[in-house]
Structure 1
Amino acid sequence: MLTAALIIFAIAALGGLVLAAHVLRNKFAPWALSALHALLGAIGLILLIIMLVQGNTAQQVLAGFVILLIAALGGFFLASFHLRKQLPPKAVVILHAALAVIGFLTLFSLVL
């Protein structure tokens, strides 16, 4: 299940790169891609929740989950700007991406 979550997060990250590139160039990101990015992130988090509930998981799973959950909250904050038809602060975009990468790498460390 960890492998599936990592694959889903990796695909979401590709979309996130496209979204961030738009914002960093002062353009609005495509709404459909934003929604897909959020959906994939949510599916990945749900898979991690299932793993955590089943028990017997490494501490890195919990740490990665918490970091990615914080990144997801940042994503909701970014989406709120999109809904208000405003560009989000670039610093928040970078922080969201950095947290997501750290969370992903925390999980990925388990498969190395």
Structure 2
Amino acid sequence: MLMTAIFLFIIALCFGIGLLVTVLSDRPTSRPVVLIHGGAALLGLLLIIAYILKGNFQPLLVISVVLFIVAALGGLTLFIFDMRAKPIPKALAILHPLLALTAFLTLIIYILP
């Protein structure tokens, strides 16, 4: 279950890098790329939450989930700006992947023996 979540986060990461480059160069984002990025990240987050709810309540895993949730809220904010055709705040566009990467690395550390 966690390996599938990691795979989904890697997909989200790949699409997210493209989105970050697009936003930082003031170009319009591709709606399919945005939806794939968000969908993969959301599915990964839901898998981790399901894993925790099955009784795997470990502090490092919970920290990872909390960081992913905060990153997801930032991503949702970016999505709302994008769908309303408003300029995307570059600071948030940089903070969002930093939070997500921190959450991802925390998850990797949890999984490694």
**2-structure distance, mates of 1:53, 1:102:** 22
Which runs of structure 2 are paired with 1:1-112 in the superposition (5 Å)? 1-112=1-112
SS in 2 for 1:88: coil
Letter in 1 for 2:8: I
Unaligned runs of 5+ in 2: none
1:93–1:86 CA distance, 2 compared to 1 (3 A): same
Comparing 13-22 with 77-86, greater Cα deviation is found at: 77-86
**2-structure distance, mates of 1:111, 1:29:** 33
Give CA deviations for 1:39-96 in whole Å, capped at 9, x if unaligned.
Answer: 1011001101111100134321111011001000001100111111123011001000
CA contact (8 A) 1:23 1:87 kept: no
Give CA deviations for 1:2-60 in whole Å, capped at 9, x if unaligned.
Answer: 11111110110110000000000011110110011111011001101111100134321
The number of residues matched between the two structures is 112
Percent identical residues: 35
**2-structure distance, mates of 1:14, 1:58:** 28
Letter in 1 for 2:50: I
Runs of 4+ with >6 A deviation: none
TM-score in terms of structure 1 length:
0.95
